[in-house]
Amino acid sequence: MIRQSSRFSRSLLACASVAAGLMFSAASMAEVRVQIVHAAPFADTLEGTSVTVTANGGTVLEEFLFKDFTEYLTLPAGDYDLAVIPTGATDPAIEASVTLESGTDYTVLAVGDGVNQPLTLWPLVDNVDDPAMGNLNIRVVHAAPFADSDEATEVSIRTAGGVVVNNLVGVPYFAQSGFFEIPAGNYDLKVASNDGLTNFIDPVAADLPAGANITVVAIGDGVNQPLGILALPVGELPVQLPVDNSVTGWWASRDTEREGFILQPIPAENRLVGTIYSWDPAGSGAQAWFTFDGTISDRTATGEVQAFADGQFLGTDPIEGSVLGQVDFEFLACDSALATLTLADGSEFVWDLARLTQTLPCTLD
């Protein structure tokens, strides 16, 4: 869903009138381009974040909401007194003086929630060399004021499997990576704790095209407004439930006897491992056990199932499993799930599962 400001046409007219009044000198008439982003989650409703943005006393944007952003506005280079005023108020919530230099592109973000982190304007310089053939430029910006100290807001940027991207570990609020090049392609990234064990924001995988300059902004405070990602100039990225330990534990079948699953997520790797307790599918009654290992995302998981037999207590001989098929999970709630086992021959088994144990907090309800 693109959150580009619907008031953009009005803002262009307003900017034109502001620019007309800024006749400082012939030198000041050199142009700059400025993109404005509302990333300040200071109210618990979207309507409550509405603001007016002014430059040198002239209105630039009205009814500008959290997650709104503009295209580049063309302005004369020079000095500007900027103000952000909550809709319906008379006093600015943010004031700043900036110098916009000729030939430079800027992104100016309104950030902070006024509680954990102060409300302020954050100008970034956007000028960057074109990427090499087949690459794109990407920049990561931490504008999510979810804690009241730099250390508590530190995050790492990782792939879904937990690999750190571009050494981005220990990134605090109000820090940005600068642009760096990566190959174009489909990327499944997430924002996690420094150690990678806790996931904060997990966007859906997205295609990043060659030649683009993309700024990825972490936004929200998790209280007034949910944590999320703005990808400029594309818009707000869809996110999914970050992988945590919600599904950990024993799950029993509602419609069969003495069958079920033991599940253990590995959040750092967006991974789910576990065992199936059941009978030998061949019906021989021989001792058998089954394990699975795969990926988990949002409310679904899938993994390869292996079968093992002839285990021994304190045995010394290694046991090798054989691939049995694939298991797919759909987690409906904290205490309800469906599991579908598809064997290599195409036969299918479905379990309606109920949780037996739940000792950890669950985010599925």
For residue range 216-268, what is the model confidence (pLDDT) as tens digits? Answer: 999 999 999 999 999 999 999 999 999 999 999 999 999 888 789 999 999 99
Query: In the prediction, which pLDDT does 5 show?
Result: 41
Give the whole-angstrom CA distance, residue 325 versus residue 281: 12
Residues 207 and 327 in one domain: no
Residue 361: inside a domain, yes or no?
Answer: no
Which of 240, 272, 298 lies at the terminal end of a domain, its last residue? 240
Query: In the prediction, which pLDDT does 283 show?
Result: 60
290 Cβ contact partners less than 8 Å away, ≥ 6 residues apart: 275, 276, 278, 305, 306, 307, 308, 324
Give the whole-angstrom CA distance, residue 103 versus residue 125: 11
Query: In the prediction, which pLDDT does 334 show?
Result: 95
Q: How many domains does the chain have?
A: 2
Residues 20 and 138 in one domain: yes
Residue 25: inside a domain, yes or no?
Answer: yes
Query: In the prediction, which pLDDT does 257 show?
Result: 80
CA 199 to chain centre: 9
- Which residue is listed with tokens 């009138």? 17
Q: What is the 3-state secondary structure (H, E, C) of 150-219?
A: CHHHCEEEEECCCCECCCCCCECCCEECCCEEEECEEECEEEECCCCCCEEEEECCEEECCCCEEEEEEE
Residues 226 and 277 in one domain: no
Query: In the prediction, which pLDDT does 285 show?
Result: 61
Residues 19 and 144 in one domain: yes
Query: In the prediction, which pLDDT does 328 show?
Result: 98
Sheet holding 51-55, edge to edge: 58-64, 51-55, 78-86, 94-100
Residues 154 and 18 in one domain: yes
Rounded to the nearest 5 degrees, what angle is found at the Cα of 279, between the Cα atoms of 273 and 280? 95
- 63 within 8 A of 29, measured Cβ to Cβ: no
Tell me, what DSSP letter sits at residue 93?
S
- 45 within 8 A of 4, measured Cβ to Cβ: no
Residue 27: inside a domain, yes or no?
Answer: yes
Closest CA to 12 of 34, 31, 29, 28: 34
User: Which pLDDT tens digits describe the chain residue by residue (365 residues)?
Assistant: 334 443 333 333 344 334 434 333 334 468 999 999 999 999 999 999 999 999 999 999 999 999 999 999 999 999 999 999 999 999 999 999 999 999 999 999 999 999 999 999 999 999 999 999 999 999 999 999 999 999 999 999 999 999 999 999 999 999 999 999 999 999 999 999 999 999 999 999 999 999 999 999 999 999 999 999 999 999 999 999 999 999 999 999 998 887 899 999 999 999 999 999 887 656 666 667 899 999 999 999 999 999 988 777 888 888 889 999 999 999 999 999 999 999 999 999 999 999 998 778 899 98
Query: In the prediction, which pLDDT does 28 show?
Result: 44
Residue 331: inside a domain, yes or no?
Answer: yes
Residue 50: inside a domain, yes or no?
Answer: yes
Residues 278 and 199 in one domain: no
Residue 71: inside a domain, yes or no?
Answer: yes
Which of 214, 240, 266 lies at the terminal end of a domain, its last residue? 240
* Burial of 90 (C-beta count, 10 Å sphere; 0-12/13-18/19+): exposed
- 300 within 8 A of 289, measured Cβ to Cβ: no
Residues 217 and 318 in one domain: no
For every residue of 265-317, DSSP letters joined together read EEGGGTEEEEEEE---TTSS---EEEEEEEEEETTEEEEEEEEEE---TT--S
Query: In the prediction, which pLDDT does 361 show?
Result: 87
Residues 271 and 324 in one domain: yes
Residues 236 and 130 in one domain: yes
Residues 210 and 298 in one domain: no
Residue 14: inside a domain, yes or no?
Answer: yes
Residues 141 and 215 in one domain: yes
Which of 212, 240, 268 lies at the terminal end of a domain, its last residue? 240
Structural domain harbouring 253: 249-355
Residue 52: inside a domain, yes or no?
Answer: yes
Residues 177 and 260 in one domain: no
